[in-house]
Amino acid sequence: MIKRIIIAVIAAGLCAGAARGLASTRPTIQYFGHACFLLTTAGGARIVMDPHHKLDYPLPKVEADAVTVSHEHFDHNNAESIKGKPVILRGLQQGGSWNGIDQSVKGVHIYNIGVYHDSVQGAQRGRNSVFVFEFDNLRLVHMGDLGHTLDAATVKKIGKVDFLLVPVGGNFTIDADDAWQVVNQINPKVVIPMHYKTGKTKDIPIQTVDGFIKGRNNVKQQPSGAVELVPPSHQEVWVFPTP
C-alpha cells in the first residue's frame, strides 16, 4: 500500500513537471525578409505579418492562424500564400481607408492603429496600419510602412512595447534617423529593423540597415532567422540574417 502511494506521488510530480515544462515554452519570431515575420506564441498560435511577393526572398511556407496586412502593396499583402485557413486581418479597407481591427485569435489580442505611408498624411502613398499584438504578457508592434514620426496620441495608443518591428530603409518609409526618433518615442526593449536593402532587394531604392545600426553598441546580430522572444534587461537591436 505504501509502495503504491509513493509511486502515485512520484507520477503526480512527473506530470506536474511536464505541465510546467509546457507552460514555460517561450514565444518565438521568425524573419522571412523585408517586413514579413512569423510570430509563434507559447500556446502555439501562429501569426504571419506582411507576407510579400514579387521579391527574391523565399515565400514563407507555413500554416498560420492569422495574417496581418499593414497596407495593400505587393511587398506586404500576399496573404493568399499562407497555408491553412488563417483569419486575414487587413489594416486598410478596399477604398484605402483604415479598417478598425480589435479581436483575439487563439489567445492573441490584435489591434491596429491608423498611420500614414508618408509624411504628408497619405497624399503621396496613402495610409498604413500599425499592428499591435498582445500575448504571453508581452506586446509586439509591427509598424508596417510607417512614413512619419509619431504624435503623442499615437504613442499613447501603442502603449508599452517589448518588441518593435520598424522600417529603416527610407524612400518609401521612414529612414534611419526618423526610425530612431520613433524608437525613442516608444522606448521598446527590443528593436527589430526591417524594410531595408539586402542582396535580395538590391534593385529597390532603399538603404541598407547599416545606417541604422552604425555606431550603436547595443546591436545583436542574430545567428539564425528564428529566435525566442525574451526581453533583455537593457534595450537591444536585433538584426537577422538575410533569408
Is residue 20 assigned to a domain?
A: no
Reduced 3-state DSSP string for 15-74: HHHHHHHHHCCCCEEEECCCCCEEEECCCCCEEEECCCCCCCCCCCCCECCEEEECCCCC
How many domains in the chain? 1
pTM, entire model: 0.89
Is residue 123 assigned to a domain?
A: yes
Q: Look up the domain containing 131 and give its range.
A: 27-239
Q: Which cell goes with 3?
A: 509502495
- Helix/strand/coil for 45: coil
Is residue 7 assigned to a domain?
A: no
Q: Mean pLDDT throughout 48-55? A: 96
Q: What angle do CA 205, 35, 235 make, to 5 degrees?
A: 105
CATH of the domain at 157: 3.60.15.10
Is residue 12 assigned to a domain?
A: no
- At residue 60, the pLDDT reads 85
- At residue 23, the pLDDT reads 41
What does pLDDT average to over the chain?
Answer: 91
Is residue 142 assigned to a domain?
A: yes
- At residue 239, the pLDDT reads 98
Dist CA 83 CA 104 (whole Å): 20
Examine the pLDDT at 12 and tell me if it is beyond 50. no
Neighbours of 243 (CB within 10 A): 16
Examine the pLDDT at 5 and tell me if it is beyond 80. no
Is residue 156 assigned to a domain?
A: yes
Helices (H) and strands (E) in the chain, counts: 4, 14
- At residue 125, the pLDDT reads 97
Is residue 55 assigned to a domain?
A: yes
Q: Mean pLDDT throughout 111-133? A: 98
Is residue 133 assigned to a domain?
A: yes
